[in-house]
Amino acid sequence: MDASPKDNGQVRSACTECQRRKQKCNRQWPCNHCQKRKVADRCHFSQTVAASAERAPSSGSRKRNRHRDEQPDSSSDDDDAQDFAAIGYGGAHFFTNLEVQTEKKPKPPAKQHYMAASNCHQLERALQVLPPRTTTDSLVQNFLSRVNYHYYIIYPPAFLQEYREWWMARFASQPLGLQWTCLLLMVCACSTQYTDPDFKRKLEMELGEPIYNLSNKYHNAARELHSVIPISSNHILNVQHLLHSSYWYKSEARFVESWHALSTAIREAQALGIHQDQLAGSISEFDFEMRRRLWCVLDAWDWQISALLSRPKLIDRSECKVSLPALTLESYSPSPLLHMKLQSQVIGELASRFGSPREVTSPAQIDQYTRVIIDWMQGFPSVYSLQNPDTSIDSKYTWVTLHRHYLHTMAYSMLLDPIRAYMARRMTVNSPPNDLRIRDEGITYTMKLMSALSSFFEFLYPRDARFHWALFSIFDTAAVLCSVILHDEDRCISRRQEIIMAIESARSMLARLAAETRTAKTSYEILSKLAKRIENPYMPPKLSGNHHKRARATEESLTPPFIQHFDLSVGSSDVGSTDDFDTYSASPVGSGGAAQSIASASPAYGSGFAEVSAGYSMPNTLTPAYDTYDATYSIPPATQALPDNVLMPAPPNPYMPPTPRESYAQLSIDGFSEEQLGDLAALWNYQSLDLNFVPSQNV
């Protein structure tokens, strides 16, 4: 879309903005002046024509035109087609396939559905829910300077122009576009989820309600108003509104609802023909670019959320024929949408070669799958590079740091998708060599992922504690490592202590989040129980009640015991290699969490969001930590496995009461029912990790 007019043999005049301002236009889209002034949405060119096509038609063509004029009128056929479309039959239905079609017809341009507040009770209620103009301005500004940079679904210059026009229409008591009003409500709902303490306090004082209630009110008002819009009124604003609804649910850790909202957004986009460039019709270059940008986000989210929930993909990629966005709207590099474009790029390649990750099962397939992702990772731009990224623009474009963390964690998560099954198998030194190799590679990638998540957590916490994808990944990655330890029957894993320290680092991060969200609290409790089932020298042993009484008399109330702070070298600094190691922040719970210090509450990304993550090195020789009880810890020796119907005898320092193996059939996981798991039950695929297995080394 950003090609020069010479490339296609067409002649372009200057864009309408340059003509109006009497400036010299470079005749590319977006042109140099519109891009610099951040008005790429207004950069329009008149109809381009080929220079050779301007000549008068030949006599032969005049005869052909006369012959076409004499053909019978086909308007009746068109009317019949419109009648079929009115009752729900689309272009792929068998009625329309009775005649051969050489190409699909472009979709007609979408139009907003306008109504006056006096004629629509839902719109009237929505306007009552919206805060006053000054408060709404603050919410919009908070959204555009901070929240929008998470995925960059909205192009700010165009949105602000429409925002001003919407308020002018409202003050003039004119009919309002329902689609745009829904989007504004959803922007306010998402903005209130990510507020700094001062802004949160100001909103609650001005509006007289807790911030959580305000966010729910805006979201519910948008959903109610959306129900009024006729089903046939498809619009790109509907796709943006539904995408933000899915984003809102993700921030509330309600991933199942997020998946359903995403499904509705995808169907809306398909109804508009966004999934096929040929269905765009005669639209401006800006609208073309926005369609591609939205489909890029839809494509990436479909892969991400479906994999997270172990659900089928919503998009049939065999029907998709859409190019990646050009990302030329912005006058700077990288574009805030580049991280999504990179992800969509590799997803398209993986889908075409392997289908779903669950279909990648054999060692040969896993090797090919891994090679595709590693090649993709090594092709990251310098600002997102895995090794020594270019951070020179981080202070100017502070959202680059967020996208760098996002890409790194997403890349390692995608590497693990087909390997997880091997990490949940019982293995010994006599297991197939390929199985052991893949498991060991999975451990390396998992440790690298934990290192990336540790840095991501320090960047997000505490201000973006609702960025639940990264926070859930901390728990899920630690659970995978627990599964590896539990299934290591003869203790053949050489990096056992590193894995235990990584689990403890995850537990420490979740402990800091436990007071922020209910999902984090549940995740912390479950991971703590899992940690007790492995030989973890960093978990305080159970002692008699007298010891606890003496400890409480000398310690501060509810203060965790002090434990020496360590760093751990984990993972490989070179993807696919196990020779060199990266460092990640790690500290046992009780030390206040991994990488305890945070510089300050982070401002909006548009005004200097500082990266505060930092790693440090850990001694090669690990010394078991002790708490204030002065109790020593000894690792119980490995013994032979007992039959399934025999109680597991208590170890010298028991971590959990002896439990018959068959009793796990009545439990979801380690004593937690699905009701206790709450939202985590639908989100976490714990069955695939076989965590109910009790290993022989705990005997």
Confirm if 240 and 153 have CB atoms less than 8 A apart.
yes
Contacts of 626-631 spanning 24+ positions with Cβ under 8 A: 626/563, 627/540, 627/561, 627/562, 627/563, 627/590, 628/551, 628/554, 628/555, 628/561, 628/562, 629/540, 629/543, 629/547, 629/551, 629/561, 631/541, 631/543, 631/547
CB atoms within 10 A of CB 396: 9
- pLDDT beyond 50 at 616: no
pLDDT at 560 over 50: no
Asked whether residue 540 carries a pLDDT value surpassing 50, the answer given is yes
Tell how many helices (H) and how many strands (E) occur in the chain. Answer: 24, 6
For the entire predicted model, the pTM comes to 0.71
Q: What is the rounded distance in angstroms from the CA atom of residue 456 to the CA atom of residue 611?
A: 9
User: Contact at 8 Å (CB) between 623 and 497?
Assistant: no
Q: What is the mean pLDDT of residues 526-532?
A: 86
Q: How open is the CA angle 665-666-670, to the nearest 5 degrees? A: 85
Judge whether residue 122 has pLDDT over 80.
Answer: yes
State the DSSP string of 96-147.
Answer: GGGS--SSPPPPPPP---EE-GGG-HHHHHHHHHSPPHHHHHHHHHHHHHTG
Q: Which CATH number fits domain 13-45: 1.20.1260, 2.60.40, 4.10.240, 3.40.50?
A: 4.10.240
Alpha-carbon distance of 303 to 326, in angstroms, equals: 21
Reply yes or no on whether the pLDDT at 102 is more than 60.
no
Phi, psi of 585 (to 5 degrees): -70, 130
DSSP code, position 466: T
CB 673 within 8 A of CB 619: no
C-alpha 216: how far from chain center: 21
Residue 679 has pLDDT above 80, yes or no: no
Q: Give the amino acid at 303.
A: W
pLDDT at 277 over 60: yes
Confidence of residue 640 (pLDDT cuts 50, 70, 90): very low
C-alpha dihedral, 200 to 201 to 207 to 208, nearest 10°: 130
Q: Give every CB contact of residue 381 below 8 A, 6+ residues apart in sequence.
A: 334, 338
| pLDDT tier at 355, thresholds 50, 70, 90 | confident
Rounded to the nearest integer, the mean pLDDT of the chain is: 75
Neighbours of 676 (CB within 10 A): 14
Q: What is the rounded CA–CA span in Å between residue 127 and residue 102? A: 48
Task: Say what the pLDDT of residue 356 is.
Answer: 83
Extract the tokens encoding 76. Answer: 């009746």
Q: Residues with Cβ < 8 Å from 380, sequence gap 6 or more? A: 342, 386, 407
End-to-end CA distance of the chain: 66
The CA-based angle 182-149-472, given to 5 degrees, is 90
Instruction: List the chain domain ranges.
Output: 13-45, 110-330, 356-537
